[in-house]
Amino acid sequence: MNQLQKIELYDVEDISQVEDKSKYEIVDINSLNWAFRKISALKSKEKEIKQLADLERERIKDWENSELSTITGSLEFFEQLVTEYHAKQLEADPKAKTISTPYGKSKTRRTSEQPEKANEEAILQHVIENEMDAYIKNSVKWADFKKSLRIAEISGEKIVIDENGQLVSGVTVKPASVTYSVEV
């Protein structure tokens, strides 16, 4: 903001507080010029305020990231410790799905192996070739089709077959897993 713009702001009132706005009517080229000077000064001041706010937001964001980085690392460390402890307890007692203390819980959730989409186009092609139109929308109705699939084992390799016993290409077997969550 230049010095002339600063001078223009000295006599600018908060227009929302002025009751008689009729005294601000533009009636000639001079009053139009006066209004443009005020607009220019106000826009310049607005730009300064936004730049300062952006700088402060950036500084605050940097500070926040700095402060949180140590906390995030520590959280991950302690959650990993809890997970390792719970895994040992679960190994010793398969029924120990939840471990609870007054300050938090560690929970496990077991999922069984299940078909998983690996190549949707190949799945769609399989469904079309085998005239399984009930599973076709504009794409495969995966949730419904998945229910009709079974996992079989051939020569030690797990495969996915459809309700007709046909090998379904584009689908792999997602292995069973156990997930852990920490609640505080």
pLDDT of residue 86: 96
Q: Where do the structural domains in the chain lie, given as residue ranges? A: 1-12+25-92, 110-175
- pTM to 2 decimal places: 0.46
Using a CB cutoff of 8 Å and minimum separation of 24, what contacts does 144-153 make? Answer: 146/114, 146/115, 149/115, 151/113, 151/114, 151/115
Q: Using CA atoms, how far apart are residues 16 and 74, in angstroms rounded to an integer?
A: 51
pLDDT tens digit sequence for 18-71: 667 667 788 899 988 988 888 888 999 999 999 999 999 999 999 999 999 989
Contact 8, 37 (CB under 8 A): yes
pLDDT tens string 130-170: 999 888 877 788 899 999 999 999 999 999 999 999 999 99
Rounded CA Rg of the chain: 34
